[in-house]
């Protein structure tokens, strides 16, 4: 008899787990309350990157003089922008839906709650409910924006990231609270689209966890665009009066704007899931406690994606889903199986210039007293960067000085999020700088700077 697998939540973690388990022969049911593709497609990655792409088109239009063209001033059409984002999400959703249907996965449009270690109930959109039994359960319900008790979101002018694609009224001046990855992406997005922006930065540097050289390039770009930075400031209240919002900081500074947006992290969707009835334990932050195979405190219940409390990235959620399918189908015992190495996950910040990194960071190596070789090449001498009229940024490769094995890298510049894949492949496959040097890349491309940095 096939193994019965129940997946609650159909985001990247859930639909990958479902699809792979079905491919390996399981009988799979997915319960999803919104859309297949999850918040990643509906509310987070896809809409934010779609808005950033539109902002990119606007800033490019403003910069065409550098390409030998007359300047134009495009205008935002919020309705068209909303349609564009909805169309992208629908296309992605229907691709997942077709794939799961072709694999015989049963998809229930409803909310799933565990009723015991092997059972759950799905309350469907029409109010009816379905009792479900399973041999294995995958919890992949994701996370939602964190809202502190001092912030009263109104979905109109005091916004979470999920109210911003685009907001009901377009901000003339946006105050962004939070200068991590999400915060700086929203600064970039709205300033490219023409809004004035103030950023509340709790430390002395934006992106406090990233390479300071990369953060400095981004800060320089923000200054060039006229973004106001409130450094060392901690927001403690947001007030609205008519069409004006005021963000008040603990040191008395105030930032006024037409809108405020909070980007201060997320909390897991682990409440109201019936986890206690199944004996699933949470850690102190509310994430499901999992081991390296993503198994919870109950051996047949797994957690993947943001709810697992590991690296909150869509790419990580997907691979976790696949690894769970392999594990529950008993395929992990094979010699080719590898555990996920979160330290080798590539990540990117979709600002302008983009910032991407993978593996060991320079600061981390110095803090550990580890000997490394760092080579850095600016894009200013790269032919394609000059042809693109965008020579900002650099490629940095970190390698072992004795063996030449590539340990990490960071790239700042146009298409950095794509270019980092080469370094990620090197880091994950233990390639040496020599392997990159000996590659024959296309000329003229930005990738050539990788070869130069590997020399």
Site residues for ligand FAD per CB under 6 A: 8-14, 31-34, 38-40, 44-45, 48-49, 111-112, 140-142, 161, 182, 269, 273, 305-306, 312-315, 317
How far, in Å, CA of 40 to CA of 11, rounded?
7
Closer by beta carbon to ligand FAD, 384 or else 414 = 414
Which among 43, 33, 39, 28 is positioned nearest to 100, based on CA atoms?
Answer: 28
Q: Output the six-digit token pair for 372.
A: 């490394």
Cα separation values, 381 from 268, 386, 391, 394, 401, Å = 45, 8, 8, 10, 25
Beta-bridge partner residues of 257: 245
Cα separation values, 308 from 15, 30, 136, 195, 406, Å = 16, 18, 16, 36, 29
CA 112 to chain CA mean position, Å: 25
Using left for φ > 0, alpha for ψ between -120 and 50, and beta otherwise, residue 127 falls in: left
How far, in Å, CA of 132 to CA of 121, rounded?
6
Q: What are the b/e assignments for 359-379, b being 16+ CB within 10 Å? A: bbbbebbeeeeeebeeebbbb
Number of C-beta neighbours around residue 59 at 10 A: 16
Shortest distance, position 380 Cβ to ligand FAD, whole Å: 27
Cα separation values, 191 from 108, 153, 196, 243, 351, Å = 40, 22, 6, 19, 11
CA triple 68-69-74, angle to 5 deg: 145
How far, in Å, CA of 272 to CA of 301, rounded?
17
How far, in Å, CA of 96 to CA of 321, rounded?
14
Helix, strand or coil, per DSSP, at residue 113:
strand
Q: What is the DSSP string of 240-277?
A: EETTEEEEEETTS-EEEESEEEE-S-EEES-TTS-HHH
Closer by beta carbon to ligand FAD, 307 or else 450 = 307
Q: Which residue has the tokens 């430390």?
A: 203
Nearest-10 crossing angle of helices 12-23, 314-328: 30
Closer by beta carbon to ligand FAD, 348 or else 454 = 348
Shortest distance, position 325 Cβ to ligand FAD, whole Å: 14
Fill in the DSSP letter of residue 2.
P
Closer by beta carbon to ligand FAD, 44 or else 211 = 44
CA 245 to chain CA mean position, Å: 28
């Amino acid at each position: 008899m096939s193994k019965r697998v129940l997946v609650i939540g159909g985001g990247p973690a859930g639909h990958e787990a479902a699809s792979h388990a079905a491919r390996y022969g399981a009988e799979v049911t997915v319960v999803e309350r919104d859309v297949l593709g999850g918040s990643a497609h509906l509310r987070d990655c896809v809409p934010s990157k779609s808005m950033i792409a539109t902002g990119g088109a606007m800033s490019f239009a403003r910069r065409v003089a550098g390409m030998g063209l007359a300047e134009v001033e495009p205008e935002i059409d919020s309705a068209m922008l909303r349609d564009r984002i909805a169309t992208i999400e629908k296309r992605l959703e229907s691709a997942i839906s077709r794939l799961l249907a072709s694999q015989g996965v049963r998809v229930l449009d409803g909310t799933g709650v565990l009723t015991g270690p092997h059972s759950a109930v799905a309350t469907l959109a029409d109010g009816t409910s379905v009792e479900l039994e399973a041999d294995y359960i995958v919890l992949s319900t994701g996370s939602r924006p964190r809202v502190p008790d001092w912030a009263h979101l109104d979905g109109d002018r005091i916004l979470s990231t999920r109210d911003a694609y685009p907001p009901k009224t377009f901000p003339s001046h946006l105050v962004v609270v939070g200068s991590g990855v999400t915060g700086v992406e929203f600064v970039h997005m709205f300033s490219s689209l023409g809004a004035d922006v103030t950023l509340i930065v709790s430390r002395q540097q934006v992106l406090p966890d990233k390479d300071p050289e990369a953060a400095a390039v981004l800060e320089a770009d923000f200054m060039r665009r006229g973004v106001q930075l409130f450094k060392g400031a901690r927001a403690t209240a947001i007030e609205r009066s008519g069409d004006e919002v005021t963000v008040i900081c603990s040191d008395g500074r105030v930032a006024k704007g037409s809108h405020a947006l909070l980007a201060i992290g997320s909390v897991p969707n682990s409440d109201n899931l019936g986890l206690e009835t199944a004996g699933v334990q949470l850690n102190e932050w509310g994430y499901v406690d999992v081991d390296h195979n993503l198994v919870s405190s109950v051996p047949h219940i797994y957690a993947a994606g943001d709810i697992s409390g590991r690296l909150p990235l869509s790419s990580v959620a997907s691979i976790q889903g696949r690894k769970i399918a392999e594990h529950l189908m008993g395929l992990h015992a094979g010699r080719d199986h590898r555990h996920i190495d979160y330290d080798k996950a590539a990540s990117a910040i979709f600002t302008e210039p983009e910032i991407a990194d993978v593996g060991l960071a320079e600061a981390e190596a110095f803090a550990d007293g580890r000997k490394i070789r760092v080579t850095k090449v600016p894009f200013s001498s790269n032919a394609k960067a000059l042809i693109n009229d965008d020579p900002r940024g650099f490629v940095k490769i970190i390698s072992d000085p004795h063996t030449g094995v590539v340990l990490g890298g960071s790239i700042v510049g146009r298409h950095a999020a794509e270019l980092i894949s080469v370094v990620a492949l090197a880091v994950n496959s233990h390639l040496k700088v020599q392997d990159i040097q000996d590659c024959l890349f296309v000329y003229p491309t930005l990738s050539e700077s990788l070869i130069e940095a590997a020399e």
